[in-house]
Structure 1
């Protein structure tokens, strides 16, 4: 399952590392949007089940992962710019489906509000339209460690909050990964977090109101930070939406345990590739079709 790797020039400003997983005879192509401080490797579990049914595109934003070495990091990026990059990638790979995870939902909603050509449906996972009290506390603590590049504590802040349901192996990986990032990555995420805390710019609900394709919101039953109940508030703003709750899962869904992996897989595929109904014998007669 080796991807086709390319570093693409986006608008003459950024160079973005991409991975294209090609499925045989696939009719659909989906692009996956990372959460904060994560890279393409975060979707390794998700790719396993999606690739059986569709092409999959992964990418690292210019300040992250394998895109870092190809870009100048002299200034911070805005969410608008991240939405621009996402739409450019959607067009380049002719994606007709989008899935975001966690904070990737902000740029994804902004991108979808611009109605990118060819996109027919999208999944917004582990995201809600409000910052509840646990999320507020987490973000405030995150700003403290990010703005000071406190490498010794960044991993523990994540693992003790939104990552509390992750297995110990992944928590150790988080500690290693988050403790070895470049200063500009911490400053970039601190900037994004402070933007949300200060409610600068348009809210995610105002973007959601402009989206007319079907959206599926997926949240973990045990996620105290983007709760299923909070996610359902999107129903007030989105024209066509549905919701799925993953039992025995927290914020990181299919990364947390085998049961959550299967439940997430089934929820995503049921939305992305709905089963084709076959006519029953009782409703079909020779020379006549009866709609039921």
Structure 2
């Protein structure tokens, strides 16, 4: 798949490696925000249903993937910094849609709370405002493994928890990627865990209440860590929100099986292609 690659200077003189997948048949552009420890490669499955509709932008955070080599003297980067990076990239690429996955959604929602004029609609997948018991256990174990820089423990933890429904091939790829990262990336992940664990939910939800962009929240039916029921807590604060649950699917949604990929494709297309604003209506859908 053809991509135009570029290195862009953003917030605090950081350098971000980007890929722009052009679609000559549309002026609409969507920017994708990946989760912690992931790079833009994690969106390969999403590209297959997004590129027929949009120009698509992916990028690696300054401490990840193809951006890392260009930011050797790098301080720890918080979610607020990631939100500012995202806002600059939205302007640079003139993006009018956004899709964020898992913890990338924290930065995405903080950015959307600034009401960027260009963004028409946003999709938030595998995220909730609730740190439930399974998530708290995951965070506690992750803190211990990351603090000890125990590569095998880190790889196994992700596959045994949020990745529990991934097929074996993806689990092997996941383990290989996560267990071979640089120590600085583990330190960055540990910093994010501490940020998320100490997140003031009332303050964060108040921030979400400032978002005037129509939002679609997508969660897997089997996801014990960011469950559909917990995601529904957003309905009280995000007035232009709707929710979709993907049946027989966990945290990694379209990566888990072909039917999940088709179901995510369906709900995303229905949301982004529908004309008109949603107003204050909140809808819940079960797909699959």
| TM-score interval (norm. to shorter) | over 0.9
SS of alignment partner, residue 59 of structure 2: strand
Which structure's CA Rg is the greater one? 1
Q: Is the 8 A contact 1:94 1:118 kept in 2?
A: yes
User: Is the partner of 1:216 in helix, strand or coil?
Assistant: strand
1:289 corresponding residue in structure 2: none
User: What is aligned with 2:110?
Assistant: 110
**Matches of residues 113-262 of structure 1 in structure 2 within 5 Å?**
113-199=113-199, 203-262=203-262
| Contact kept in structure 1, 2:122 and 2:213, CA below 8 Å | yes
Unaligned runs of 5+ in 2: 277-288
Taking structure 2 as the reference length, the TM-score comes to: 0.93
Compared CA separation, residues 150 and 202, structure 1 to 2 (3 A): farther
Q: 1:245 and 1:200, CA in 2 relative to 1: closer, same or farther beyond 3 A?
A: closer
| CA drift at 1:206 | 2.1
CA distance in 2, matches of 1:200, 1:183: 28
Aligned partner of 1:96 in structure 2 is: 96
Q: How far does residue 256 in structure 1 lie from its aligned partner after superposition? A: 0.3
Question: What is the aligned partner in structure 2 of residue 279 from structure 1?
Answer: none
Deviation at residue 190 of structure 1 after TM alignment: 0.4
Query: Within 2, Cα distance between the matches of 1:205 and 1:125?
Result: 17
Deviation string 1:198-237 (CA, Å, 9 cap, x unpaired) is 2369743122111011000000011011100000010011
Instruction: Give the alignment's TM-score, normalised by structure 1.
Output: 0.92
CA contact (8 A) 2:63 2:74 kept: no
Structure 1 contact 98–122 (Cα < 8 Å) conserved: yes
SS of the residue 1:154 aligns to: helix
State the secondary structure of the residue aligned to 1:56. Answer: strand
Separation of aligned partners in 2, 1:236 and 1:202: 12
1:43 aligns with 2:57: no
- For 2:111, what is the secondary structure of its paired residue? helix
**Counterparts of 2:272 and 2:151 in 1: how far apart (Å)?**
39
The equivalent of 2:52 in structure 1 is 52
Change (3 A) 1:162 1:114: same
Count matched residues: 276
Contact 1:73–1:184 (8 Å) recurs in 2? no
**Superposed CA offset, 1:227-249 (max 9, x none):** 00000010011021000000111
C-alpha distance in structure 2 between counterparts of 1:194 and 1:80, whole Å: 14
Does residue 10 (structure 1) correspond to residue 10 (structure 2)? The answer is yes
| Partners of 1:2 and 1:222 in 2: CA distance | 34
Q: Is the 8 A contact 1:29 1:95 kept in 2?
A: yes
In structure 2, C-alpha distance between the alignment counterparts of 1:198 and 1:148, rounded to whole Å: 21
Q: 1:63 deviation in Å?
A: 0.2
Separation of aligned partners in 2, 1:61 and 1:265 = 25
In the alignment, is the contact (CA less than 8 A) between 2:129 and 2:201 conserved in 1? no
Supply the distance in 1 between the matched residues of 2:203 and 2:48 (Cα, whole angstroms): 33
Shift of 1:147: 1.6
The verdict on how the C-alpha distance between 1:181 and 1:130 changes in structure 2, with shifts beyond 3 A counting, is same
**Residue of structure 2 equivalent to 1:282:** none
Please tell me whether the aligned partners of residues 91 and 117 of structure 1 are also in contact (alpha carbons under 8 angstroms): no
Q: Which moved more, 1:86-95 or 1:69-78?
A: 69-78
1:72 Cα deviation (Å)? 3.0
